[in-house]
Amino acid sequence: MKRLFLFSTVLFILNSCAYYRQVCSVQSNLDNSTNAYTYSDNACDVIYDFWSEGGKVCFMIENKTDSVIYVDLTKSYFVKNGFSFDYYLNRIVESSKSTSSTIGTAVSGSIYGYWNNIKDYKGNKMPGSLTITDASSSTVINTASVSYIEKPIISVFPYTIKVFSEYSIMDEMYRDKTLGELPIGDKEYLKLFDTDTTPVKFENVICYRIGQGEDQYIYNYFYISKITNTRLQNSKKSYKSFYFDYVNH
């Protein structure tokens, strides 16, 4: 009875929670006809993916040349609502790896006496002793870490791809009295923006050079064009959008 009550309580809690997602759509000066925003020139392609909580600005640089492309992070910037953020932060990065092993010890002993008076189902006497084992174990964790200084210039080998990710578009979900937070059923609440009314404009500035050539700059512009509040199960993944998940109890 107690188990049935507990199960009913858990089921009630799960049914009483509604899961929602705020989806923020991003518009750009880049071509909108493909699944992901892509910048392309004779040397490289830059492909963007924003689909994450808060909109992590993730982009891949693909080298299309026979030479090494050098991405200069000291001259590359993420610009958000007029504020400029450096891609090169001169950090010391630590990478660690942990391994665990179990060390066991066993103590054995024999008990005599009582077992001598017990017979099995055929009437045969049981062995004169019973051996018991008391086992104990402990876990040892070994951690190895490597520290390295962040590189100011990243090299991209010919016909390969490197991925960059540092900043998020928004720190928290957008709230507005005109935007309903708790959609019912398949109903969605949405709000549209243009470049003047958008809550966030951002720009990605990438400086690169081919081999020992001169610096070249890529300027890609973006802004949030639509924000939609919907049921979690109704949302669809898009490289041109990002999201915030929230729950109503």
CA 113 – CA 111 distance, rounded (Å): 7
Residue labelled with tokens 């909580």: 53
Spatial strand order of the sheet with 44-49 comes to 38-40, 44-49, 56-63, 161-168
Is 70 exceeded by the pLDDT of residue 158?
yes
pLDDT tens per residue, range 86-105: 999 998 877 666 665 554 54
Per the rule left: phi > 0, alpha: psi between -120 and 50, beta: everything else, 199 is alpha
Is 50 exceeded by the pLDDT of residue 72?
yes
Q: Please name the amino acid found at residue 245.
A: D
> DSSP states of 69-105 as a string?
EEEEGGG-EEEETTEEEES---PEEEEEEEEEEEEEE
Residue 201: exposure state from Cβ atoms within 10 A (0-12, 13-18, ≥19) = middle
Q: How far is CA 60 from the centre of its chain?
A: 16
The pTM for the full model equals: 0.73
pLDDT tens per residue, range 17-53: 789 999 999 999 998 888 999 999 999 999 999 999 9
Contacts of residues 115-121 at CB distance under 8 Å and 24 or more positions apart, as own/partner, are none
Mean pLDDT in residue range 103-125: 43
Could you tell me which residues are beta bridge partners of residue 108? Answer: 133
In this prediction, residue 172 carries a pLDDT of 95
In this prediction, residue 8 carries a pLDDT of 44
pLDDT tens per residue, range 207-217: 999 999 999 99
In this prediction, residue 92 carries a pLDDT of 85
CA dihedral 223, 29, 221, 195 (to 10 degrees): -40
- Among residues 156, 148, 52, 138, the alpha carbon closest in space to that of 101 is found at 138
